[in-house]
A and B are shown apart, each in its own frame.
Chain A
Amino acid sequence: MSPQRFVTYTGPACPRCGVPIALDRITPGEDICTVCRGFFTAAVFRPPSHVTRVVQLGAEGPENASACANHPRNAAVTSCERCGLFICSLCELDLFGGKYCPACFDRMTQEGGEIQKSIRNWRGLALGISLAGLLLSSLMIGIPLGFLTIYYVIRGFRDPERSRDQYAGLIIAFFLAIGDIAIGIAMFSEFFLK
């Protein structure tokens, strides 16, 4: 794994200039950056360290538990979703609901796979296609692009990950799609039905 690819976040920093700051040097309340001399309000927290409970295989009994592939003395709590390997709570990496073993996590990052969750931006698609439909409506492409926009709008409203701030964009895209189709039909009748 090349370390440069993933070192993008280095921890707490000055919110103005981005220079890393040690938490001990930050005064809660009003503080000033020693580098850029910019003021900011700060609240410092000491997050508790994570405690992982590891179940020993002997404690569970041989009939109730399987051994972890990496730690034979630990009981497996789940299996990797990618390779199916039994893993204990020490090895378990929880990524957006999926459980992975450390080896698969490394492989995915090496292969450039998506570690972060990536979802479709239906609002952006609907707005983009509807605007393209308006621009190309004189070529009568507005009709298919309008229907495609309506499809994206429906997908956007049915998306379980949708949120209220996206509704305005989807509604605008819907009306633009109606415009696309109307202009397209008008152009069609102008050229072919006369």
Chain B
Amino acid sequence: MTRVKRRYLGRFGDLASRTSIYERGNAIEVDEQDAFHIRRRRVFYEDVQLVTMHDSVGLAGIFFGFGIATIFLLLAFAMGRDAGWIMAVAAAPFLAYGIARLTMRDAIITVFGRRSKARIRFTLSPKKARRIYDELCEKVRAAQSE
């Protein structure tokens, strides 16, 4: 039996779950990470009923960026002028990340099948999200017209 190689499409995670999404042959494969086990399910292209894309604010990323930047900036103030600038420099990338997450919203693709669905979140890459969305729609169309 030849094994079809799978291609990584993206991730979707929230406070309760974490999933990795792959494309394998004629289906989208969803790996749900459950501690040290992965539960795998598939959404076949021939079963897809609806593909959607919408944007969403990534609150966790914003809190992470601004939170870490705030900690570094507080340490910078506490350390004073001599060593504080090092902490201020360390805060800069986190601040930039927080601002980027605030201004660029996450793109989320949802694929609804007959029996299950798959969801992919694209952070700071709206063009890639659009490309994957078009690609998935094209593949579903091709699979269902066969």
A binds B: yes
Contacts of B76 in A (CB 8 A): none
A39 at the interface (CB under 8 A from B): yes
* Interface pair A9/B6, CB less than 8 Å apart: no
A99 to B84, CA, bound (A): 65
* Number of B positions contacting A (CB below 8 A): 37
A45 to B144, CA, bound (A): 8
Cβ proximity bits B15-56 to A, threshold 8 Å, 1 near / 0 not:
000001010000000000111111111000011111111101
A138 at the interface (CB under 8 A from B): no
B64 at the interface (CB under 8 A from A): no
Contacts of B6 in A (CB 8 A): 163
* Interface pair B133/A120, CB less than 8 Å apart: no
Distance in Å: Cβ of A21 to nearest Cβ of chain B: 8
Give the A-B contact count at a CB cut-off of 8 A: 92
A132 to B126, CA, bound (A): 37
* Number of A positions contacting B (CB below 8 A): 33
Contacts of B37 in A (CB 8 A): 118-121
A10 to B24, CA, bound (A): 24
Contacts of B56 in A (CB 8 A): 16
* Interface pair B112/A165, CB less than 8 Å apart: no
- One of B33, B108, B112, B140 near A12 (C-beta < 8 A): B112
Contacts of A119 in B (CB 8 A): 37-38, 40
**Partner-B contacts on A (CB < 8 A):** 9, 11-13, 15-16, 23, 26, 38-48, 96, 116-121, 124-125, 128, 160, 163-165
Given A48-B144, A120-B37, list of 9 further CB < 8 A pairs? A15-B119, A23-B50, A45-B48, A46-B49, A46-B144, A47-B114, A118-B34, A160-B3, A163-B8
Kindly list the 9 A-B residue pairs having the minimum CB-CB distance in the complex, ordered from nearest: A40-B54, A12-B50, A15-B110, A12-B112, A117-B40, A15-B52, A41-B53, A165-B8, A43-B137
